[in-house]
Amino acid sequence: MLTRREAAIRLDIPPEMAARNGIPARLTEAELAQIEEIPPAWLAQSRANRTGRKPVWVELTCIVCGYAEVARPKKWWPDFSFVACDHHDEDDLPLVRLGWVRGRYEGIGSRFVGILDEQVG
């Protein structure tokens, strides 16, 4: 069985859209396959409208340990250089290059910090 969130990830749609359009809280692989095979009008419409826009889901993968999760990107997230679990030591992260500054963004996904390295000047 899949949860609605898992189905939304697979269909590449927001979970609210899945709920609003009657995707059940739990469904089988076969039910999901059928939705993908014969997309209902709202899904076809949403796909047609989405070309070239920001992704609905992104995979966050820790650069240190490889832990990964799929999350909805927030509007305020910059294009991170990389992400890492928030419990890793600063020393475990790749070094900042000379002449670059590092920005840290807390609260990314369930357990990540986002790191943005930018060249100065």
Binding mask 17-56 for Zn ion (x = CB under 5 A): ----------------------------------------
Q: Please, what's the b/e burial string for 54-89 (b: 16 or more CB within 10 A of its CB; e: otherwise)?
A: eebbbebebbeeeeeeebbbeeebeebbbbbbbebe
Among the residue ranges 25-33, 49-57, 78-86, 111-119, the one whose residues contact Zn ion (CB under 5 A): 78-86
Q: Which is nearer to Zn ion, 10 or 88 (CB)?
A: 88
Indicate whether 71 belongs to the interface with Zn ion (CB under 5 A): no
Of 18, 62, 83, 113, which lies in the binding site for Zn ion, with binding defined by CB under 5 A? 62
Rounded (10°) angle between helices 29-37 and 4-11: 30
Residue range at the interface with Zn ion (CB under 5 A); choices 3-11, 46-54, 64-72, 100-108:
64-72
Minimum CB distance to Zn ion smaller for 23 or for 85: 85
**Residue burial 11-44, b: 16+ Cβ < 10 Å; e: rest:** bebebeebeeeebeeebeeeebeebeeeeeeebe
Q: What does the binding site for Zn ion look like in residue numbers (CB under 5 A)?
A: 62, 64-65, 67, 85
